[in-house]
């Protein structure tokens, strides 16, 4: 599924990486605990989170995560946008809860890691 399709399903706004909306995503992981995200071995994972701070972006950078959906109507700051752009991370903002976001994407065919 492409990032553009994900944004459409979630009624989400693509904040950074609009030029890579064709990027394909197959698996996702939802967590507000960055320590959990850092244990993932898979690449090309979509991160669904309600934790919006610089460390979310740093965690994505270290874990080779290239796409993040910020759920629960969390907004990203200009500093976070800057860090996302610097590391080619696609960031979306979505109004739905983490549960609804995950449910909609699961229904649409995105797989869990485990």
Partner 1 sequence: MHFEYQIEGGNFTRAGFASSEIKKMLKQLNVDLGIIKRTVVATYEAEVNVVAHAYSGTIYVDVDEKGIVIKLVDEGPGIPDIEQAMKEGYSTASSKVREMGFGAGMGLPNMKKNADELNITSEVEKGTTVEIRMGFG
User: For binding to partner 1 (CB under 8 A), which residues are involved?
Assistant: 32-39, 51, 53-56, 58-59, 61-64, 79, 87
**Cβ 8 to partner 1, closest distance in Å?**
28
**Cβ 107 to partner 1, closest distance in Å?**
27
Judged by beta carbon, residue 81 or residue 87, the one nearer partner 1 is 87
How far apart (Å, rounded) are the C-alpha atoms in residues 112 and 85? 26
Q: The tokens of 68 are what?
A: 């993040």
Find tokens 């950074």 and name the residue.
Answer: 16
Backbone angles phi, psi at 41, to 5 degrees: -100, -20
CA within 13 Å, CB half, 40: 26
Degrees (nearest 5) of the Cα angle 45, 76, 30? 30
Judged by beta carbon, residue 26 or residue 64, the one nearer partner 1 is 64
Judged by beta carbon, residue 33 or residue 108, the one nearer partner 1 is 33
Find tokens 């610097």 and name the residue.
Answer: 86
Judged by beta carbon, residue 54 or residue 108, the one nearer partner 1 is 54
**Cβ 84 to partner 1, closest distance in Å?**
13
**Cβ 99 to partner 1, closest distance in Å?**
18
């Amino acid at each position: 599924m492409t990032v553009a399709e994900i944004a459409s399903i979630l009624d989400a706004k693509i904040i950074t990486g609009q030029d890579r909306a064709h990027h394909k995503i197959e698996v996702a992981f939802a967590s507000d605990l960055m320590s959990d995200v850092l244990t993932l071995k898979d690449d090309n994972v979509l991160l669904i989170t309600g934790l919006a701070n610089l460390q979310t972006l740093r965690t994505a950078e270290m874990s080779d995560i290239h796409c993040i959906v910020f759920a629960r109507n969390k907004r990203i700051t200009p500093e976070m946008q800057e860090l996302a752009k610097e590391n080619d991370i696609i960031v979306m903002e979505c109004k739905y809860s983490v549960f609804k976001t995950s449910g909609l994407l699961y229904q649409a065919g995105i797989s869990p890691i485990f």
